[in-house]
């Protein structure tokens, strides 16, 4: 795509931006917004529109109601619990394991579930719903997938409706209980927000951890995750971002990349390409944990910058560094692991690994 120009139209008519400069403009410039839905079409599977798809002032109002739970100070309080979960999951890994189901998936699911107050026995119930809603983010969905996404959204909201009723009768020390006490949130907004927090709170981090382990093992750099976890996570986010693209809608007539765009035009910002822009990142196709890739766009920019970025970074750093310390002899059991079918959210369906012969037996 990058070879076809910084801004071009696909055969299907989608307008696509691939450079770091144009994607930065799309994400940061207030003349580009969400238009109340993916490419202006609405939040998949939702009756109410979550703040992910809203523009100010509604976006500002709803985001402010939940942002206090994700400040760096609040997230840092979770560190001991995240470390304990990661250590326990890694201890339970067999000699041959799937890193996605064994670590990358359960870690963020357990963390966001505990934050929200979702009972442990219910976690498997929402896995299928979450996967369908994540797939619903892709552009140009088939009618069957749209139907499945809508059904998953309805079932998810019904589940949270019951849980909200329980928490209103018996509130706990969790985010869900706190949100039920916010009078400014209508029930529709509350349910949409809860679904968003649970899905966004783990889907992308699953991919961050899985993509990170794959890159580290392929390049023989797993040990670096124990030495410099922060830099490793930032390079993973640049090199193989969990979110590959996002959409914006032109809110007023504007010129982008020399092309006049009328109000209402939908534009795709390809984050995966922007993070490989050679004008910003030298040798962009090289995985290099010693670089300083602070300008990557993996979490977006502007008012829609990822609310859970601090939490995702911490979970990624803890998971990768704990794995590097506990399993230094880890190696890929499958050189080309299978990916999920999602286009927007890029991640592995599974990541088979095994301990290298002769590695310390005590690591497990």
Give the separation between CA 38 and CA 346, rounded to whole angstroms.
17
Give the separation between CA 333 and CA 354, rounded to whole angstroms.
6
What is the reported pLDDT for 47? 53
Q: Looking at residue 343, what DSSP letter applies?
A: S
Place of tokens 């996002």: 246
What is the topology classification, in CATH, of domain 2-357? Cytochrome p450 (1.10.630)
Cβ-Cβ contacts under 8 Å for 342 (sequence gap 6 or more): 134, 135, 137, 138
What is the reported pLDDT for 322? 97
Copy the structure tokens of residue 159.
């589940």
Q: How far is CA 347 from the centre of its chain?
A: 10
Listed by start position, the domains of the chain span 2-357
Q: How far is CA 40 from the centre of its chain?
A: 21
What is the reported pLDDT for 67? 87
Supply the pTM of this predicted model: 0.90
Provide the sign of the torsion angle of the four alpha carbons 214, 215, 216, 221, taken in this order: positive
Q: In whole angstroms, how large is the CA radius of gyration of the chain?
A: 20
Q: Cα separations (Å) of 214 from 236, 293, 305?
A: 10, 19, 26
DSSP 270-312: EHHHHTT-TTTSSSTTS--TTS--TT--TT--GGGS-TTHHHH
Per-residue pLDDT tens digits of the chain, which is 364 residues long: 788 888 988 888 889 999 999 999 999 999 999 876 444 334 444 456 678 888 888 888 888 888 888 888 889 999 999 999 999 999 999 999 999 999 999 999 999 999 999 999 888 888 888 888 887 777 766 788 788 888 888 888 999 999 999 999 999 888 999 999 888 888 888 898 888 888 888 889 999 999 999 999 999 999 999 999 999 999 999 999 999 999 999 999 999 999 999 999 999 999 999 999 999 999 999 999 998 767 999 999 999 999 999 999 999 999 999 999 999 999 999 999 999 988 889 999 999 999 875 555 444 3
b (16+ CB within 10 A) / e for 280-290: bbeebeebbbe
Q: CA angle 253-259-264, nearest 5°?
A: 35
DSSP 158-171: HHHHHHHHHHHHS-
């Amino acid at each position: 795509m990058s070879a076809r120009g910084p801004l071009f139209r696909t055969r299907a008519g989608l307008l696509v931006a691939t450079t770091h400069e144009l994607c930065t403009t799309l994400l940061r410039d207030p003349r580009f917004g969400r238009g109340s839905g993916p490419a202006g079409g609405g939040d998949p599977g939702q009756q109410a529109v979550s703040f992910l798809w809203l523009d100010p002032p509604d976006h500002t109002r709803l985001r402010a109601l939940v942002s206090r739970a994700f400040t760096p100070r609040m997230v840092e309080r979770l560190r001991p619990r995240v470390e304990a979960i990661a250590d326990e999951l890694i201890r339970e890994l067999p000699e041959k394991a799937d890193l996605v189901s064994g670590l990358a998936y359960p870690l963020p699911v357990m963390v966001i579930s505990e934050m929200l107050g979702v009972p442990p026995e219910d976690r498997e119930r929402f896995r299928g719903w979450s996967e369908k809603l994540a797939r619903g983010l892709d552009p140009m969905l088939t009618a069957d997938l749209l139907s499945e996404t809508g059904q998953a959204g309805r079932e998810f909201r019904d589940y949270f409706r019951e849980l909200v009723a329980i928490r209103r009768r018996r509130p706990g020390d969790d985010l869900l209980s706190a949100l039920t006490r916010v009078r400014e949130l209508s029930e529709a907004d509350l349910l949409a927000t809860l679904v968003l927090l649970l899905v966004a709170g783990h889907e992308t981090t699953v991919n961050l951890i899985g993509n990170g382990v794959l890159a580290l093992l392929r390049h023989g750099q797993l040990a670096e995750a124990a030495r410099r976890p922060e830099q490793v996570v930032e390079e993973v986010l640049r090199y193989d971002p969990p979110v590959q693209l996002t959409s914006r809608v032109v809110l007023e007539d504007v010129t982008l990349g020399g092309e006049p765009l009328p109000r209402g035009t939908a534009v795709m910002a390809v984050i995966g390409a922007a993070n490989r822009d050679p004008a910003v990142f030298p040798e962009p196709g090289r995985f290099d944990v010693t670089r300083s890739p602070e300008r990557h766009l993996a979490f977006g920019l502007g008012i829609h910058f990822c609310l859970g970025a601090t939490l995702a970074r911490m979970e990624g750093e803890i998971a990768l560094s704990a794995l590097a310390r506990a399993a230094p002899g880890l190696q890929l059991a499958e050189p080309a692991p299978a990916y999920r079918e999602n286009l927007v959210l890029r991640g592995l369906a599974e990541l088979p690994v095994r301990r290298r012969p002769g590695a310390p037996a005590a690591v497990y």
